[in-house]
Structure 1
Amino acid sequence: MVDVFTEIKIQRPVDQVSGYATNPDNAPEWYVNIQSAEWQTPQPLKVGSKVAFKAQFLGRELAYVYEISEYIPGKKLVMRTANGPFPMETTYTWEALSDNSTLMKLRNKGNPTGFSKIAAPFMSTMMKRANNKDLKKIKDILESEN
């Protein structure tokens, strides 16, 4: 089992942070490993929406489709892999700390299979490192906007 939790404070209002983070078109900008995101279902984002991602992780190219399983705008987004090499659930939550400050939390959990199962402890460490970079990048992007 892989279960990775990271969080960061961003000096922007919760609706701005959550709006940017939940737009798949922005994912390649702030996710270190994501190279592309392609809508599989019509926009806007809602429960049942599907987005195909291409990513690079541990030197391998991964292609997978996330399906939105829970979405409360400005509060929470849960997406699960509909297909791909590694069954994964990603959860974002946002909490307003003040009018211009948001606590963003990111959690990835999954049950690796096959070779991935052997590498799970190593993968957890690498995922946490990547997630911390991703959160730092979204913070930098959003806080540098005027």
Structure 2
Amino acid sequence: MSVDVGATVVIERPIEEVSAFAGDPSNAPRWYRRISSAEWETDPPISLGSRIAFRARFMGRDLEYVYEVIEYTPGEQVAMRTAEGPFPMATTYTWRPVGSNTTHMTLRNHGEPSGFSRLAAPLVARAMRRAMNQDLADLKQLLESG
């Protein structure tokens, strides 16, 4: 069973600002509640082929995984997939302007769990949706507060 979860938010900030901040993996620990660190395995800034090692805690488990950037269009989209880690996953950020100072952001995670995670896929999807909505709310508050 695959997992495919999306969440959206409208942020009252220009698209250039939102995409630059949210699209920089170095900032992930500032707005993802469950990510404790993001370390570059390649030289920043983000580009096609960039690799970033993340440490996170999700559903009571400590996770370490490496994402590789597989699509990158500055100011529009970043897509990454796990190059290493316990749960094969892809994450995509997309941004579109809604007026001159407002941005619509979509966050999507999808993958094919294996082992125990496969059996728990519906539970994992619900937990991911809840976490993604919390993270986007935190991002909105962080960016709109200045």
* CA shift for structure 1 position 25: 1.3
Give the superposition deviation at 1:22: 1.1
How far off is 1:43 after superposition?
Answer: 1.2
Secondary structure (helix, strand or coil) at the match of 2:98 reads strand
Q: Which runs of 4+ in 1 moved over 3 A?
A: none
- 1:65 is aligned to 66
Alignment of 1:1-146 (within 5 A): 1-145=2-146
- Please give the alpha-carbon distance, in whole angstroms, between the structure 1 residues aligned to 2:25 and 2:132: 16
Q: The residue matched to 1:98 in structure 2 has which SS? A: coil
Cα drift, residue 102 of structure 1: 0.3
Report the Cα offset of residue 24 of structure 1: 1.2
Indicate the RMSD between aligned Cα atoms, in angstroms.
0.4
Task: Name the SS of the counterpart of 1:37 in structure 2.
Answer: strand
Q: TM-score, normalised by structure 2?
A: 0.98
The count of residues paired between Structure 1 and Structure 2 equals: 145
Q: TM-score, normalising length from structure 1?
A: 0.98
The letter of the residue matching 1:144 is S
Measured in 2, the distance between the counterparts of 1:43 and 1:25 equals: 9
Q: Unaligned 5+ residue runs, structure 2?
A: none
Unaligned runs of 5+ in 1: none
Post-superposition shift, 1:126?
0.2
- Provide the rounded CA distance (Å) in 2 between the counterparts of 1:74 and 1:25: 16
Instruction: Report the identity percentage.
Output: 53
